[in-house]
Structures are given as C-alpha cells and as structure tokens.
C-alpha cells in the first residue's frame, strides 16, 4: 500500500525523469547506501569481506563495464579477462614505479590506460560485426595474456612471473592502507564501495543521456542508426573506451585490493571473460541493476554450493566443482530461454505487480 506513485507529484521535468520515480524506491535506495557505507564497515570481518563483499563489488564494476559494451552498445566481447589484466599490470607498474602515489590515482590511471588499449582493440568493430567480432575480441584476450606472461618488463623481471601488490594508502592525506598484507577489511571494503558507487552513478547517467541513446541505437540496428545521424565510429569507440575503463578499474582492484598477488594466466584467463559475460546474461543485458544482480549471483553461487554440497551432503570438493559447471551452464540456458533480459527484468516485473497490488484491475 506504500508502493505507490499516488500523492507523489512531480513539478519539474527533471523530477519526472529521475532514476527512482517512486518515493518508496528512492528511500530504499538511500537506506541501502547508508547501510552499505555506515553500518557494514563496523560489522565486516575478513571472511565476509574476502569471500563475498569485496569480490561482489569488484565484479559488479566489471559487469557494468561489459554491460555498457554488450548490453547497451550490442558489441559482444570475450576479451574482458585480457582488459582486466591491462588494468592490473598498469596499477602494478604505477605502484612500483611511483611509491608516493595514492591508490585512487593509481586505480583511475589504470582505467585510463585500459581504455586506450580497449579503443585500439575496438577499431576492428567498425568493420566486423556480430560473432565475428566476439571471436575477434578473443584475439585481445589471448594476445594480452601472452604479452604479460612473456615480457619481463611488465612484472619487473620477477623470477616467478607473479606480481604482488605493495602497501599503499587510500589517498594522500587519508593514510588508510587499502592494499598489502596489513590492510584491514573495512578499509578495503570502503575503498571498493566508493568506486562502485561513483562508477555506477556515472554509468546510469551516461546510459540515459545522449551517449547512451547513441549506443542503444547502434545496438538495435546500426545501419538505421547511421542514417538518422549517429556516428558509428564515435558511438562504438566511446562504448569500447568507457567499457574498458570500467573493466580496467575492476581488474586493478581485483589485483591490488582483493587478490594481492596474481599470475596472469590463472587470474585473467578466458574463464574470467566468461564469468563476467555470464554475470550480465543472468543479471540482465542493458541494465545497471542487472549488473549488480548478476555479479551477486555468480559470487554467491559457489559459496552456496559449497555449503550445500560439501558441508551439507558431504561430497568432495571436486564433485561439487563439477556440479557447479552443470548448474551454471543449465542456468545460463534456462535464463536465455525463459527470460533473456535476466534477473533485472524479473525485478522490474515484480515491481510492476507490486504497484497494482492488491487491485490488479
């Protein structure tokens, strides 16, 4: 009975166009934000941070990035893992070359360098379409991973080929350590949350503005879009740039904040590309909320399966890993058949129903 537009009068055009037009939604959104920023940091411990919250936040950024490219602009990319590696290695080189630099600048610069690489690999998209392009982005995936594996300069010639993150501060006048072995869980969590909040907000506003409408025009029918005056060059390359910027930041955070030490083939291989792609399929193509839902789902699934199968039924871990493959694969097919727009559409339908409840006619 409280989920209503009735009585909530909009007097300006911008108020009518806001992201959460219903007051209840708006309040819920603020409540979640305040809870995430103020309450969770006091409750969080290492287990919660490392197994759920931090990976969820980091993958949510990657999912938003890929969703911009695939969901909004219609260019399927299987090179996400490679672009995440660009972000990670840029942040590593910056951290080791400039010890005084703070983490916010490092992470943003990692995003910028990934955006440049993304634009370079996005150039073929002007000629190649559909799954020819999807396969072409695999070139980026394999080439970048090989590059970071073979060229010693990228990993500072360390013997194992691994890179590991030294301790660095949040911002230059905020001396909180967010990377390295001594960083605390709340600091890491807040650092990721800040990026997620800002990037999601930017993404939401980009996608409903002029740029976003150009992307969607290209997605729906590129030739028609060109005829009505959308420049495919501009639209596709901006999509690649923005998407790679997000993916690069996510890759950098995954390395610096979450994992701490990575080996490029194991952490940024093709499996990662598929993982992020699955997130946006399950969550919902062309939806910012869907990116969050999908990331949460794919991060939660292995944890739930472990609790159910290994702890509950006493299966060994190998068997439960096999089950995970079966379940993820089946879910992907299930979602594509039943609801190609993913969890986000289900959520929207539920809200639609709720608005009319209890008098649906």
Structure-token pair, residue 114: 């990934």
CB of 34 to other proteins, least distance (A): 37
Cβ closest to other proteins, residue 51 vs residue 149: 149
Residues 6+ apart with CB under 8 A from 21: 5, 8, 10
Cβ closest to other proteins, residue 53 vs residue 275: 275
Cβ closest to other proteins, residue 68 vs residue 94: 68
CB of 74 to other proteins, least distance (A): 8
Cβ closest to other proteins, residue 111 vs residue 294: 294
- Residues found near other proteins in the complex (CB under 8 A): 74, 76, 124, 127-132, 134-136, 138-139, 142-143, 145-146, 149-151, 221, 223-224, 227, 270, 274, 277-278, 281, 313-316, 318-319, 322-333, 336-337, 340
CB of 82 to other proteins, least distance (A): 10
Cβ closest to other proteins, residue 52 vs residue 134: 134
CB of 320 to other proteins, least distance (A): 10
Q: Any alpha helices (H) in the chain, and if so which ranges?
A: 13-16, 23-34, 40-43, 46-48, 54-66, 80-97, 103-122, 130-150, 185-207, 210-220, 222-227, 232-253, 264-267, 270-283, 288-305, 317-338, 342-356
- Any idea what DSSP says for residue 340? T
As a whole number of angstroms, the distance between CA 317 and CA 294 comes to 24
Cβ closest to other proteins, residue 48 vs residue 323: 323
Taking alpha carbons only, the member of 182, 223, 189 closest to residue 43 is 189
Distance spanning both ends of the chain, measured CA to CA? 15
As a whole number of angstroms, the distance between CA 167 and CA 140 comes to 30
CB of 306 to other proteins, least distance (A): 15
Cβ closest to other proteins, residue 198 vs residue 224: 224
As a whole number of angstroms, the distance between CA 294 and CA 283 comes to 4
Query: Locate tokens 């967010």: which residue?
Result: 178
Cβ closest to other proteins, residue 185 vs residue 310: 310
CB of 296 to other proteins, least distance (A): 19
Residue 130, classed as helix, strand or coil, is helix
Residue 170 main-chain phi, psi, to 5 deg: -55, -60
As a whole number of angstroms, the distance between CA 154 and CA 139 comes to 20
CB of 207 to other proteins, least distance (A): 19
CB of 79 to other proteins, least distance (A): 10
Cis peptide upstream of residue 358 (ω within 30 degrees of 0): yes
């Amino acid at each position: 009975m409280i989920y209503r537009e009735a009585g909530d009068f909009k007097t300006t055009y911008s108020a009518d166009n806001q992201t959460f037009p219903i007051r209840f939604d708006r309040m819920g959104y603020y409540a979640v934000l305040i809870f995430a920023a103020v309450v969770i940091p006091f409750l969080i411990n290492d287990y919660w941070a490392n197994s759920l919250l931090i990976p969820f936040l980091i993958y949510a950024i990657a999912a938003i990035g890929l969703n911009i490219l695939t969901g909004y602009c219609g260019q399927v990319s299987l090179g996400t893992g490679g672009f995440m590696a660009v972000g990670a290695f840029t942040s590593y080189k910056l951290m080791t070359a400039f010890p005084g630099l703070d983490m916010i600048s490092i992470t943003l610069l990692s995003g910028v360098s990934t955006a440049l690489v993304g634009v370079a690999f996005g150039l073929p998209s002007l000629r190649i379409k559909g799954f020819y392009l999807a396969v072409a982005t695999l070139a980026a995936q394999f080439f970048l991973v090989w590059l970071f594996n073979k060229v010693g300069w990228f990993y500072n010639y360390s013997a194992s080929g691994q890179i590991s993150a030294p301790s660095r501060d949040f911002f230059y006048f905020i001396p909180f350590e967010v990377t390295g072995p001594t960083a605390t869980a709340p600091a890491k969590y807040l650092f990721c949350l800040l990026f997620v909040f800002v990037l999601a907000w930017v993404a939401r506003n980009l996608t409903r503005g002029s740029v976003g409408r150009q992307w969607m025009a290209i997605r729906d029918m590129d030739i028609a879009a060109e005829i009505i005056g959308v420049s495919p060059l501009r639209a596709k390359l901006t999509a690649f740039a923005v998407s790679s910027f997000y993916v690069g930041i996510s890759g950098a955070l995954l390395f610096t904040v979450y994992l701490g030490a990575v080996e490029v083939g194991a952490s940024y291989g093709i499996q990662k590309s598929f993982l992020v792609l699955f997130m946006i399929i399950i969550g919902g193509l062309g939806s910012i909320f869907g990116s969050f839902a999908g990331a949460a789902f794919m991060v939660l699934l292995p944890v739930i399966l472990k609790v159910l199968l290994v702890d509950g039924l006493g299966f060994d871990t190998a068997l439960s890993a096999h089950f995970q493959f079966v379940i993820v694969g089946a879910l992907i097919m299930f979602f594509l058949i039943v609801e190609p727009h993913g969890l986000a559409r289900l959520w929207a339908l539920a809200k639609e129903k709720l608005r009319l409840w209890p008098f649906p006619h």
